[in-house]
Structure 1
Amino acid sequence: MNIKFSIITCTFNAENYLQNCINSVKMQGYTNFEYILIDGGSKDRTLSIIEHNLDVINKYVSEPDNGIYNAWNKGLKLARGEWIMFLGADDELLPNTLSKYHNFLIHKDESILDYVSGKVIFESVLGKKRRTIGKLWRWDIFRKYMNVAHVASLHSSKFFEKYGYFNESFKIVGDYELLLRAGGNLQAAFVDSELALMRDGGVSNNPKKVFIETFKAKRLQKSRSYILCVYDLIIAWVKFSLKFLK
């Protein structure tokens, strides 16, 4: 079995980290993948970097977009892989990530799996490892908050056929809302290994907006009652405040 992966990276003025991201894809030992770059009309050296890496980049688009989920949806329309991965322009795959996924999947019944995730190293902008995130998906936890690491995780192409593309009204937690659509029926698996590196920064570091959008996603997909969503919101804010005060 030779599984094909589609890797989608969205960029906008990403010259500082993009080459490292591309290099991490180039260095994968597993080669049956396509790499898709969706640029939002960058004004820095992003396009030049893309054009100098067409040996690994199969398809790219550069035009204004309406945010990350609009860009990811553009990438989905171009993707032809059986499994689809989203990798930020400032993120990196760790060595042999695709091989690890391949070796994991060939021992599973792919026809019933929707989603596969692993562990992600969360690193500061100065390159210091802060923590490792990502756990086994469990509906009793996921319905409250996102406990899986979405960076470099895999989505079956059939999942999008069944549940649709990203909801572009979300700006931060559209990945969470997407997976919530399957509810407790999501067929998820977990690779107990560090697979990618994620850097601190970006809109996801705005806790107020994250908490509010998470509330909206849960209510939209009815994963929790209104009262329980309010409770989850309060608990999340209290935990964040206590951590910040330490």
Structure 2
Amino acid sequence: MKISVITVCYNSAATLGDTLASVATQDHPDIEHIVIDGGSADGTPALVEREGGHVKVFVSEPDKGIYDAMNKGLAHATGDVVGFLNSDDVYAHPGVLSRIASVMADPALDACYANLYFVDPRQLDLIRRVWRSRDYVPGLCARSGWMPAHPTFYARRSVYAEYGGFNLDYALQSDFDMALRLLDIHHIRTRFVPEFWVRMRMGGASNASVRNVLRGNLEAWRAVRSHNIPVPPWFILVKLASRLSQFADRSLDIR
């Protein structure tokens, strides 16, 4: 099973080396690592040339933002299964992609996902938050703003071919819109694997400020409404409250 891993980046020279090394040390034998750069000026392309010997596709050109870059990655992907690893994230251990391949060997599945650690930007073994996911039940995304941890979400390439890529109308929550479309609307068949697959550095555009957090939640609300799904009045409050448990749970079990 070929697995395509898409990494999008822009001026990521400070962290991308960790991501490249994490993919290169995975023990799965058939990995297509695709790196889409937005035209960085900080030495990112030189870093990929120097440390990305395993990278199969590298594109460096201006884009319209992170989700446009992700769509470019999807267009280049040739794997049976596709996932995304951000340019400041790493896998929890070298066997993650092999584990994903074993799960996706079940032909009844369209996608799988797992748990995620938020870690200190300078100490990747220091956990700051934990994103524990759950089994999906119909309507969960629209009711509460829930979504799987996107860096742990691996779907068959045929899913994206059939249902399309990321909607550029949402600058911060297009990954939520994608989850909403695939799970609530198109009812793809998923499996939650109760393991930790990714260590994600704290930060990111959607959490960069209180303004972005509020803007992101409004985008999620708008995404639900755009699909003519009734939005409960407590939607944004429930979505915000769902993050509180992440701060309370700081399990040290990285595996």
TM-score by length of 2: 0.85
Q: 1:74 aligns with which of 72, 75, 84?
A: 72
Task: Work out whether 1:225 is the aligned partner of 2:221.
Answer: no
Q: Find the counterpart in structure 1 of residue 57 from structure 2.
A: 59
* Percent of aligned positions that are identical: 29
Contact kept in structure 2, 1:135 and 1:149, CA below 8 Å: no
Q: Find the counterpart in structure 2 of residue 98 from structure 1.
A: 97
- Residues 45-80 of structure 1: CA deviation (Å, up to 9, x unaligned): 111111113421001100010011100111111100
- Residues 206-242 of structure 1: CA deviation (Å, up to 9, x unaligned): 31122111101111123x414x1x321244457779x
CA distance in 2, matches of 1:235, 1:132: 18
The alpha-carbon distance between structure 1 residues 150 and 236, as it changes in their structure 2 partners (threshold 3 A), is closer
Q: 2:203 aligns with which of 178, 201, 204?
A: 201
Aligned residue identity for 1:225: P
SS of residue paired to 1:52: helix
Q: Find the counterpart in structure 1 of residue 5 from structure 2.
A: 7
Contact kept in structure 1, 2:148 and 2:179, CA below 8 Å: no
The alpha-carbon distance between structure 1 residues 240 and 57, as it changes in their structure 2 partners (threshold 3 A), is closer
Q: Find the counterpart in structure 2 of residue 170 from structure 1.
A: 170
The alpha-carbon distance between structure 1 residues 240 and 156, as it changes in their structure 2 partners (threshold 3 A), is closer
CA distance in 1, matches of 2:242, 2:155: 30
Correspondence 1:140-151 to 2 at 5 A: 140-143=139-142, 144-151=144-151
Unaligned 5+ runs, structure 1:
none
**Which segment is superposed worse, 128-137 or 48-57?**
128-137
- Residues 179-209 of structure 1: CA deviation (Å, up to 9, x unaligned): 2223251211112211111111121203112
Contact kept in structure 2, 1:69 and 1:166, CA below 8 Å: yes
Q: Find the counterpart in structure 2 of residue 179 from structure 1.
A: 179
CA distance in 2, matches of 1:102, 1:197: 19
Correspondence 1:112-127 to 2 at 5 A: 112-127=108-123
**Which segment is superposed worse, 175-184 or 21-30?**
175-184
CA distance in 2, matches of 1:124, 1:145: 26
CA distance in 2, matches of 1:147, 1:50: 31
**Which segment is superposed worse, 94-103 or 70-79?**
94-103
- Residues 77-101 of structure 1: CA deviation (Å, up to 9, x unaligned): 1100010011100011122101111
Task: Work out whether 1:135 is the aligned partner of 2:146.
Answer: no
Q: Find the counterpart in structure 1 of residue 46 from structure 2.
A: 48
The alpha-carbon distance between structure 1 residues 142 and 25, as it changes in their structure 2 partners (threshold 3 A), is same
The alpha-carbon distance between structure 1 residues 150 and 50, as it changes in their structure 2 partners (threshold 3 A), is same
Aligned residue identity for 2:128: R
TM-score by length of 1: 0.88
Contact kept in structure 1, 2:152 and 2:198, CA below 8 Å: yes
Deviation at 1:169, TM superposition (A): 1.4
Aligned residue identity for 2:230: S
CA distance in 2, matches of 1:237, 1:91: 23
SS of residue paired to 1:190: strand
The alpha-carbon distance between structure 1 residues 75 and 147, as it changes in their structure 2 partners (threshold 3 A), is closer
Deviation at 1:38, TM superposition (A): 0.3
SS of residue paired to 1:84: strand
**Which segment is superposed worse, 178-187 or 82-91?**
178-187
SS of residue paired to 2:59: strand
